[in-house]
Amino acid sequence: MAAASRNLISHLRILLSSTVSETQFRTFSACSSQVEELRTRIIEGKPAIMTPNSKRTGAIAVKCGMTALWDKWGERVPITILWLDDNIVSQVKTPEKEGISALQIGCAHKKEKHLTKPEVGHFRAQGVPMKRKLKEFPVTEDALLPVGTSISVNHFVPGQYVDVAGITRGKGFQGGMKRWGFSGMPASHGASLSHRSIGSTGQRDAPGKVFKGRKMPGRMGGVQRTVKNVWVYKIDPARNLMWVKGQVPGAEGNFVFIKDSVYKKPDISTLPFPTYFTPENEDQADLEPLVADLGDTDPFMAAD
């Protein structure tokens, strides 16, 4: 009796183990097929509907310089001109392959002989022209674009706010007054040869040292900074130029990175998503510049 029960239990264990292994195999096969479908998915470049949680790609521009314009009400507007020099998508990063959702944007042309072999191999593997500057912008999955998609100045809308990042002008080694805005020492009495000195830098025997992070003379500039909430005054699609109000980091000829503002978010109904796709019958050279809507009320008359 005991032998018969042991044989029955062993047969039940074999049957259960085979059933579990078959179920696990089916589950693994289903997961593998789903992963393979995600890896081989095709990213299409077509207009879509932007949601409040969507995040578009940015663009790379060349700082051309500053000027001033007068709007239709006669108010003087300080302007920085930015040139989007042939921006294209040079690489797509997906969560299935790289673990993140991002787009790599390339700007301006560069000869192959001026690039390193790894850079040349990267561009050839992606099948895109050689680019001078690359920048990766994190995006949401609904904002992914295929490799080779052009990012024109129509990606941004006049009147919206953007964040502009760039490398500030390097000013070399500077003193405390210029670097940190210190007031300095007295200009006449009691300050012998120390008019621009920063003054005391610590205490006495306790602690007997200068704490780290103390504002002192040192190297100034040459670091990346972001100017937030920059207003887009005008765009020129024919020349890929953008006029923004105020200053942006960097010297003339430097690259700057433009993206939608984080704090003053633009109206999603007015933005092209995931970017602006040029119609087949549209000629960029014939397009007129677009200026931000300044309203119908004269600000000078309203102030009176």
- Tell me the pLDDT of the chain averaged across its residues: 89
Region 21-41: mean pLDDT is: 53
Residue 4 inside a domain? The answer is no
User: What sections of 112-249 are H helices per DSSP?
Assistant: 117-126, 176-180
Q: Is the pLDDT of residue 11 over 90?
A: no
Question: 183 or 16: whose pLDDT is higher?
Answer: 183
Going by pLDDT thresholds of 50, 70 and 90, the confidence category of residue 44 is confident
- The CATH number given to whatever domain includes residue 133 is 2.40.30.10
Coil vs helix vs strand at 104? strand
pLDDT digits (tens, 9 = 90+) for 67-120: 999 999 999 999 999 999 999 999 999 999 999 999 999 999 999 999 999 999
Q: Is the pLDDT of residue 169 over 50?
A: yes
Region 114-142: mean pLDDT is: 96
Give the count of domains, the chain: 1
- On the 0-12 / 13-18 / 19+ scale of CB atoms within 10 A, 141 is exposed
- The two three-digit tokens of residue 203, written as one number: 């205490």
Q: What is the Cα–Cα distance from 181 to 129, expressed in whole angstroms?
A: 46
Residue 15 inside a domain? The answer is no
Residue 237 inside a domain? The answer is yes
Q: Give ∠ CA 71-230-174 in degrees, rounded to 5.
A: 115
Residue 249 inside a domain? The answer is yes
Contact criterion met (CB below 8 Å) for 210 and 201? yes
Q: Is the pLDDT of residue 262 over 90?
A: yes
Range of the domain at 258: 46-170+221-277
Residue 124 inside a domain? The answer is yes
Contact criterion met (CB below 8 Å) for 120 and 92? no
pLDDT at 17 (0 to 100): 60
pLDDT at 34 (0 to 100): 54
Pick from 21-30, 35-44, 241-250: least confident: 21-30
pLDDT at 245 (0 to 100): 97
The phi-psi region of residue 240 (left if phi > 0; otherwise alpha if psi is between -120 and 50; otherwise beta) is: left
Q: What is the Cα–Cα distance from 177 to 185, expressed in whole angstroms?
A: 10
Q: DSSP class of residue 242? A: E
Coil vs helix vs strand at 162? strand
Residue 79 inside a domain? The answer is yes
Residue 37 inside a domain? The answer is no
Residue 11 inside a domain? The answer is no
